[in-house]
Structures are given as C-alpha cells and as structure tokens.
Amino acid sequence: MSSNSISKGRLLIITAPSGAGKTTVVHHLLREFDQQLAFSVSATTRPPRPGEIDGVDYYFITPEEFDAAIAQDQFAEWEEVYAGRKYGTLKSEIKRLWSMGQTIVFDLEVVGATKLKKMYPEESLAVFVQPPSSDILFERLRNRATEDAESLNARIERASLELSYANSFDLILVNDELENTLQDARQIVLDFLSLN
C-alpha cells in the first residue's frame, strides 16, 4: 500500500493543562493496551528534560528545523505553546502509525487538541483530563522540579487558559485519586476500541 492510500484509523486525543496528569494517563494507557495503541511522538523545539529520549518522548529539533517543517506543510497541527517553544504533530507520524493498524494516542495542549478533533470528528475521541481544582493544579506545577521560575509562571498562566476548555471535548476525566483516574481511563479506552 502506498503512503497516500492508507485508510484512516482512530485517534484518542488526551488533552489537559500542563500538570493535570495527562502524561501519566497516557503512559498508563500505552502500557495497558500495548497491542492496540501507539503514541504519536510530537516534534518540539524545547530541550529534553532529564530522562527524555529523542524519538520516544519527542523528536527534539531546532527552531530552524521546525520552521522548515512548517514551510513544507509537514504538520497536521502545531502550536507555539510557550514563547519560543513550538510543538507539533507530524503528518508522517500519523501515517506511520495508521499504516501499522494502530489507534493513535495524542498528548496535546487544548488548542492543538481542538484542531485535531475538527480534522477527524468521526474517527477521534478527545478526553480532557481535569485536575480536582485550579489551586491543586498550580501546586502541582510548583512542585515540579523541572521548571525554572520563568517557565513556571508561563505554565501557570497557560494552565488558567487551558482550564476554560474543559467543556470543549467529548469527555472529562477528573484526575483526583490517581488509581480511580487510571481505571476510568482504561474503561474509556475499552469503550472506544470496541466501536467500529
């Protein structure tokens, strides 16, 4: 099959403010459903955090490479999530995972998630992971050792905006007790995968 004739698969879009626990949910689902789900590795211009691996967590590329990819229309969606920090979903990544017959899991901020949902309204399920409260979310962000003061403030500001998107998606998954959250997430995927 040529890369142009790949039939569409399904998309599971997980979105949330930074710090809401979205990445934990995504990793859990990928482990639980390792035969059915595959992660869409995004491109980003932000530097890797300790432990992050190029090609696994992200494709870490330079701003010049990112802009060249934009110019060549290589992104399904992209966002400058923080000043100077761009993140994007490569069309080639979607094709690659669909050609393997897998349902793709995306870890996206709310604007990119909205765009992708609009592109694939029938094929996608978009889940908003909601922190128990905005105060708890801000506290979690402060406790993250990875952030310096400047990027922490940017993240808190961005998180406030992102919280307002909660009702824009198909489902809200409240992340209060992690065990319950993961169980609920598992059920959501079971229901989604049983659709045809």
Rounded distance between C-alpha atoms, residue 126 and residue 106, angstroms: 9
* Smallest distance from ligand 5GP to CB 74, Å: 12
* Smallest distance from ligand 5GP to CB 1, Å: 26
Q: Tell me which residue of 141, 117, 103 sits closest to 22, measured CA to CA.
A: 141
Q: Which is nearer to ligand 5GP, 112 or 131 (CB)?
A: 112
* Helix ranges, the chain (H): 22-32, 63-71, 91-99, 110-119, 134-143, 149-163, 178-193
Interface with ligand 5GP: number of residues (CB under 6 A):
13
When asked if residue 81 is in the footprint of ligand 5GP (CB under 6 A), the reply is yes
When asked if residue 46 is in the footprint of ligand 5GP (CB under 6 A), the reply is yes
When asked if residue 107 is in the footprint of ligand 5GP (CB under 6 A), the reply is yes
Contact 117, 106 (CB under 8 A): no
Contact segment (CB under 6 A) with ligand 5GP among 60-68, 74-82, 164-172, 182-190 equals: 74-82
When asked if residue 156 is in the footprint of ligand 5GP (CB under 6 A), the reply is no
Q: Which is nearer to ligand 5GP, 162 or 188 (CB)?
A: 162
Contact 127, 163 (CB under 8 A): no
Contact 6, 99 (CB under 8 A): yes
Exactly one of 28, 37, 39, 79 binds ligand 5GP (CB under 6 A); that residue is 79
Rounded distance between C-alpha atoms, residue 193 and residue 187, angstroms: 10
Exactly one of 21, 29, 39, 89 binds ligand 5GP (CB under 6 A); that residue is 89
When asked if residue 18 is in the footprint of ligand 5GP (CB under 6 A), the reply is yes
Sheet holding 37-39, edge to edge: 37-39, 103-108, 11-15, 124-130, 171-174
Which residues are near ligand 5GP by CB under 6 A? 18, 42, 46, 77, 79, 81, 87-89, 107-109, 112
